[in-house]
Structure 1
Amino acid sequence: MSQDGAQGRYEGRSLAGGRYQLRDLLGAGGMASVHLAYDSVLDRQVAIKTLHTELGREQSFRERFRREAQAVAKLSHTNIVSVFDTGEEPLADDGAAMPYIVMEYVEGRPLRSVLDEDIAGLGAMPTEKALKITADVLAALEISHEMGLVHRDIKPGNVMMTKRNVVKVMDFGIARAMQSGVTSMTQTGMVVGTPQYLSPEQALGRNVDARSDLYSVGIMLFELLTGQLPFDADSPLAIAYAHVQEEPPVPSSINRSVPPAVDALVARALKKNPNERFPSAEAMRDECARVAGTAQSGATPLIISEGPRARSGAGVGSAVFPPVDQPGGPQAPAPNVHTPYQSPAGTGGGFGGFGPSTPPPPSHPMAPQPGPGGAPGFHTPAPGPYGGARAG
């Protein structure tokens, strides 16, 4: 179902026996669309996320989605967008069911919009402000991780700022439901997420835990501090290669006002090996609070990068693509390739499976490939916000 189809098909429709009346389309992406809606029972505005028709055709996925939504509804925290209700709406025209989630409607704007404004005026976000926002995102992740929910898609587009500048993280559990559901995409071992913010283990299609979210938070913090992304390329698969094989630049090499302690915080969050990152969201949040004192209050970013800039994440959306080390999968070149990290013995194996001095053979999927490198079977959804909020 296309985004245009979502808007034309569902606007004006009622759900749950007429209780929820869909109104304006707030945003659409590759997995879902979000509408402003009116709850006629409680007389309030809500945001309703509707999963695209093709994802709602499979009973196993709908059941997984329902369980995840119930778990997310139990997350109660100032920095988390609340989930009020969930259900399925029959689609009379084709017999499919449309899963939906009813969420808190946040009056505010996405963090992406706040960052873009700071980039336009200063080149990047002031360090102290970036650390405060990051700490609030981590506070939300503490709660979800305690319940065993890994977000999997932390990025500025999934963080809202209210009119009172309260951070609200949204889409908890939805990406996890996508990854775990037995759908036509996940049956073939595809990776679901936003390539620019994927952890290396997520890009490799491996099991992830809370530390994967902390890597994504590190990418987001880097972007807030510098106005650009540490890794970018022309295709989702090439970006995934970079997360696995490239070392990120130091934020202060781009923004001179970033102090060494913040450089160190970002570097630890972006370690390839999860065991070398912060052990928990709480630990990373505590470090954000500690190093915030080293940042000059209201310091103006001094952007000094003169080389080619990695594009900012403005407008990026989720993508579906094969894991970068999937045998026989599509290949893509990786500029400035470094040998993949191999975990120490007993830590669960390395990324790519090669030691520090043994490069992968040319036939291995982790090896750089000649030519432009295609990725047949890619599905890169059109960009757009996922959460229950309207910009402005």
Structure 2
Amino acid sequence: MSEDGTAVEGHSLGNGRYVLQRLLGQGGMASVHLAYDSVLDRQVAVKTLHTELGRESSFKERFRREAQAVARLQHTNIVSVFDSGEDVAADGTTTPYIVMEYVEGKALRDVLNEAITAHGAMPTEQALKITAAVLSALEASHDQGLVHRDIKPGNVMVSTKGTVKVMDFGIARALQSGVTSMTQTGMVVGTPQYLSPEQALGKSVDARSDLYSVGCMLFELLSGQLPFDGDSAFSIAYKHVQEEPPAVSTLNRAVTPAVDALIARALRKDPAHRFPTAEAMREEVERVAGAEKGGTPLQASTPLVIGEGPRSVSAAPSLTNFPQVGGDIRTPTPQIQQPYQPAPGPHTPPPYAPQTPPQAYPQVQAPHTPTPFPQQGYQTPAPQPYRTPTPFPQQAPVPQPGPAFAPQPANNNSGCSTALIVVGVIIGVIVLACIIVAIAAASDENKSSTYGAPRPAVVLDLGPADDRS
């Protein structure tokens, strides 16, 4: 062991089973080594906590109990835990250790540093994809009653195949253990830059504390900067409790308002105003990521990092962008307007003057054929189909200039007008026939009185009788 209590290369743990080969990473609480499992003949990652953390028996008991709970987690995005134990040195010091799955790849911290060097920040699509995978892992751990409490880029691995793995559940606390205080024996469990306000205040911790840390991590991925930073852990914790973070779009103009609102909700001071569960936040991240794919290539790929820093803290979006809803927070899928398609059946004219059909989709209407009038005798014309009347009287259509090739719509009243004209003509013919018959009858009567009737006798006036005698 080294002077600070960390294991060194060549040292073995677990009664010689795990042989440390090289240092993979080191933090303020633990060190991670690549080790060889001599029993199962495989490479593993062994995380050894610093000696001072294992001096308290209560801490060691809780660590052992939680390590057993983490070992039951089986998820694609969680680094599997194979074993845990305590190594006792010759001087009697105890070193707790955890044996984990070895992920061949890079820590998210290294991936982010490369993106900052190349672009100033990580592309939005990549950052949202990694965040969704981390939330999927937290969803599984929260279902088992485990809060990670130390989500940060250093505890997330990205394999060579692009698989995201969340590790370092060794300091997670079981919700059912009843111990949810932030401090233990004067030690702050977690990284100050990613602590939730309730952690900084020493209040109870639940699953929503991890969501706050995820919001800090996503803020850093998209801007290349921390939402809160300072010279000491106390000053950083104070900012988490009292200050509002700037909008990410003030640091990276390629970030859309939807991403701004997503991060703003995750970083609410009050846990009740954050996402209720990791599942709810993951679904929102996936929805925003899907919308980002439909945006411009600039928003989805190349960040535009502003070098002068945030312009205004008040630029952060308000809660109106994310109304507070209990339970599921799925946002309805936006309705997409479909292109115009004529509905089947009789067409109801619009309540305004007819217009020339759009040239993009000319609708050619079939000409209306009037009902043929019967040839024998007079019959009532066939009833015309009912048509919805227009809201106000129709005036005689005025010819409108239009393109020569645009077809003119057929007049809906042509059938009725034609039938009325035909009926009028027939009635006129009948009246004319009656007049002709009447004239002929009168002519025949005059002829009968002239030649056929006997003429009246001629009476000679011979004067008075006295004269005749």
Which TM-score band applies after superposition, normalised by the shorter structure?
Answer: 0.7 to 0.9
Q: How does 1:314-329 map to 2 (within 5 A)?
A: none
1:25 counterpart letter in structure 2: L
The structure-2 alpha-carbon separation of the partners of 1:158 and 1:141, relative to structure 1 and needing over 3 Å to count, comes to same
Aligned mates of 2:281, 2:12 — CA distance in 1: 43
Structure 1 pair 187/14, CA: closer, same or farther in 2 (3 Å)? closer
Give, in angstroms, the shift of residue 97 of structure 1.
2.4
User: Which is further off, 77-86 or 53-62?
Assistant: 53-62
- Structure 2 match to 1:119: 116
Deviates more, 1:59-68 or 1:262-271: 59-68
TM-score of the aligned structures, taking structure 2 as reference length: 0.61
Q: What is residue 258 of structure 2 aligned with on the other side?
A: 261
Task: Provide structure 2 residue ranges, at least 5 long, that are not aligned to the other structure.
Answer: 315-469
Contact 2:180/2:205 (8 A) holds in 1: no
Match status 1:14 vs 2:12: yes
Correspondence 1:90 to 2:88: yes
Deviation at 1:285, TM superposition (A): 0.3
1-structure distance, mates of 2:172, 2:15: 28
Q: Which has the higher contact order (CA 8 A, sep 6+)?
A: 1
Query: For residues 180 and 110 of structure 1, what CA distance do their matches in structure 2 show?
Result: 32
Change (3 A) 1:173 1:10: closer
The CA distance in 2 between the partners of 1:182 and 1:175, in whole Å, is 10
| Structure 1 residue 180, shift from structure 2 partner | 8.8
For 1:301, the equivalent position in structure 2 comes to 303
Q: Distance in 2 between matches of 1:162 and 1:208?
A: 30
Counterpart amino acid of 2:306? Answer: I
Tell me, yes or no, if the aligned pair for 1:61 and 1:181 is still in contact at 8 Å.
no
Give the superposition deviation at 1:79: 0.5
Distance 1:236 1:24 in 2: 30
Count of residue pairs brought into register by the alignment: 305
Q: 1:38 aligns with which of 36, 39, 58?
A: 36
CA contact (8 A) 1:15 1:21 kept: yes
SS in 1 for 2:189: strand
The 5-angstrom pairing of residues 1-392 of structure 1 reads 5-6=4-5, 10-93=8-91, 95-176=92-173, 186-188=184-186, 190-295=187-292, 296=295, 298-307=300-309
Q: Using the TM superposition, give the Cα deviation of residue 38 of structure 1 relative to its aligned residue in structure 2, in angstroms.
A: 0.5
The alpha-carbon distance between structure 1 residues 278 and 182, as it changes in their structure 2 partners (threshold 3 A), is closer
Q: Provide the TM-score with structure 1 as the length reference.
A: 0.73
Contact preservation (8 Å) 2:124, 2:301? yes
Contact 1:149–1:173 (CA under 8 A) maintained in structure 2: no
Instruction: Verify the 8 A CA contact 2:4 2:50 in the aligned structure 1.
Output: no
Q: Note the C-alpha offset of 1:27.
A: 2.1
Partners of 1:75 and 1:144 within 8 A in 2:
yes
2:98–2:170 CA contact under 8 A, matched in 1:
no
**Alpha-carbon distance change, 43 to 292 in structure 1, aligned in 2, over 3 angstroms:** same
What's the CA shift string for 1:205-250, capped at 9, x where partnerless? Answer: 1111000000000011111111111111111110111111111111
Cα distance in 2 for residues equivalent to 1:108 and 1:204: 36
Shift of 1:157: 0.7
Pair 1:99–1:80, CA change in 2 (3 A): same
Q: Counterpart of 1:281 in structure 2: which amino acid?
A: A
Amino acid at match of 1:35: H
Q: Deviations over 1:338-362 (max 9, x none)?
A: xxxxxxxxxxxxxxxxxxxxxxxxx
| Structure 1 position 5, deviation (Å) | 4.3
SS for the counterpart of 2:34 is strand
* Partner secondary structure for residue 269 of structure 2: coil
| Structure 1 letter corresponding to 2:199 | Q
Contact 1:115 1:125 in 2 (8 A): yes
CA gap 1:31/1:181 in 2 versus in 1, 3 angstroms:
farther
> 48-57 vs 80-89, which deviates more?
48-57
Mark the CA change 1:308 to 1:302 in structure 2 (over 3 Å): closer, same or farther: closer
Q: What value does the CA root-mean-square deviation take over the aligned residues?
A: 2.5
> How far did 1:308 drift?
7.2
Instruction: List structure 1 segments (4+ residues) > 4 angstroms apart after TM superposition.
Output: 4-7, 179-183
Q: Give secondary structure in 1 for the equivalent of 2:104.
A: strand
The separation in 1 between residues aligned to 2:16 and 2:226, in whole angstroms, is: 44
Moved more, 72-81 or 289-298: 289-298
Deviation at 1:54, TM superposition (A): 2.0
Whole-angstrom distance in 2 between the partners of 1:284 and 1:213: 11
